[in-house]
């Protein structure tokens, strides 16, 4: 099997894991604030936050991701090296979410 295809598949799985960890990382801060201030009940807060965490990238676009993506240009690198750099970034982001 092609090593780039394997790395791409691993990258897709890790991106889904990152999205999950990023969602619970951000959502917990938002939910805690609204519940602690008694602005919403826990059920209301979870429903509202879950809805807008999902809709955020769809409605807000990908401007932040595109800006960050421009910092590292992997275009001139061989495909396998480029995928390893992307994987390293994803693993670092997941580690940061879990550590903080």
User: How does residue 64 score in pLDDT terms, banded at 50, 70 and 90?
Assistant: confident
* Residue 84: CB atoms within 10 Å: 15
The pTM assigned to this predicted structure is: 0.72
For 5-38, what is each residue's pLDDT tens digit? 888 899 999 999 998 898 778 878 888 888 999 9
- The C-alpha atoms of residue 46 and residue 52 are separated, in whole angstroms, by 10
- The C-alpha atoms of residue 69 and residue 9 are separated, in whole angstroms, by 19
Mean pLDDT in residue range 79-86: 88
Mean pLDDT in residue range 52-56: 83
- The C-alpha atoms of residue 88 and residue 76 are separated, in whole angstroms, by 18
Task: Indicate if the pLDDT at residue 95 is higher than 90.
Answer: yes
């Amino acid at each position: 099997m092609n090593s780039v295809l394997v790395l791409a598949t691993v990258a897709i799985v890790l991106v889904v894991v990152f999205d999950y960890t990023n969602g619970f990382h951000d959502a917990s801060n938002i939910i805690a604030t609204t519940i602690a201030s008694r602005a919403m009940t826990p059920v209301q807060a979870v429903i509202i936050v879950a809805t807008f965490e999902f809709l955020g990238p769809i409605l807000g676009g990908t401007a932040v991701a595109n800006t960050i993506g421009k910092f590292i240009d992997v275009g001139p690198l061989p495909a396998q090296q480029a995928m390893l750099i992307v994987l390293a970034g994803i693993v670092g982001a997941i580690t940061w979410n879990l550590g903080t």
